[in-house]
Amino acid sequence: MAKNTGQNYRHGAVRGRSQVHNPRTDSWVKRDSATGRFKDGKADSAPFKGVRKEK
Protein backbone atom coordinates (compact mmCIF):
# COMPACT_ATOMS: atom_id res chain seq x y z
CA MET A 1 0.00 0.00 0.00
CA ALA A 2 1.32 3.44 -0.88
CA LYS A 3 1.77 5.93 1.93
CA ASN A 4 2.51 9.62 1.59
CA THR A 5 5.41 10.77 3.75
CA GLY A 6 4.70 14.51 3.61
CA GLN A 7 8.17 15.12 2.19
CA ASN A 8 7.23 15.13 -1.53
CA TYR A 9 7.62 11.38 -2.04
CA ARG A 10 5.71 8.21 -1.25
CA HIS A 11 6.64 4.76 0.09
CA GLY A 12 5.37 1.87 -2.03
CA ALA A 13 3.45 1.72 -5.26
CA VAL A 14 -0.17 2.59 -5.98
CA ARG A 15 -1.91 -0.70 -6.82
CA GLY A 16 -4.99 -1.25 -8.93
CA ARG A 17 -4.53 1.96 -10.94
CA SER A 18 -2.74 3.13 -14.03
CA GLN A 19 -2.53 6.42 -15.89
CA VAL A 20 -2.74 7.46 -19.52
CA HIS A 21 -1.87 10.74 -21.20
CA ASN A 22 -4.64 12.57 -23.05
CA PRO A 23 -2.89 14.49 -25.84
CA ARG A 24 -5.99 16.50 -26.70
CA THR A 25 -6.18 18.12 -23.25
CA ASP A 26 -2.47 17.54 -22.41
CA SER A 27 -3.39 16.04 -19.03
CA TRP A 28 -2.98 12.68 -17.27
CA VAL A 29 -6.01 10.55 -16.34
CA LYS A 30 -6.11 7.73 -13.76
CA ARG A 31 -7.81 4.44 -14.65
CA ASP A 32 -9.04 1.60 -12.46
CA SER A 33 -7.18 -1.56 -13.52
CA ALA A 34 -10.03 -3.91 -12.61
CA THR A 35 -12.89 -2.17 -14.45
CA GLY A 36 -11.02 0.08 -16.90
CA ARG A 37 -13.09 3.10 -15.90
CA PHE A 38 -11.52 6.53 -15.68
CA LYS A 39 -11.25 7.78 -12.09
CA ASP A 40 -9.54 11.14 -11.91
CA GLY A 41 -7.76 13.72 -14.04
CA LYS A 42 -4.92 16.13 -13.30
CA ALA A 43 -5.40 19.88 -13.65
CA ASP A 44 -1.79 20.43 -14.73
CA SER A 45 0.28 18.54 -17.31
CA ALA A 46 2.44 16.64 -14.78
CA PRO A 47 1.79 12.91 -14.29
CA PHE A 48 0.49 11.40 -11.05
CA LYS A 49 3.22 10.34 -8.60
CA GLY A 50 3.63 6.62 -7.99
CA VAL A 51 1.00 5.48 -10.52
CA ARG A 52 1.99 3.10 -13.35
CA LYS A 53 1.89 4.53 -16.88
CA GLU A 54 0.13 2.66 -19.71
CA LYS A 55 1.63 2.49 -23.16
Q: pLDDT digit string (tens) for 5-51?
A: 888 887 887 889 999 999 999 999 999 999 999 999 999 999 998 89
Report the b/e string of 26-55 with b at 16+ CB within 10 A: eebbbbeeeeeeeeeebeeeeebeebeeee
Using the predicted structure, report yes or no on whether residue 2 has a pLDDT greater than 80: no
Whole-number Å distance between alpha carbons of 38 and 32: 6
Could you tell me the residue range of the domain that residue 28 belongs to? Answer: 3-53
Q: Residue 4: what pLDDT?
A: 79
The residue count for the chain: 55
**What is the number of structural domains in the chain?**
1
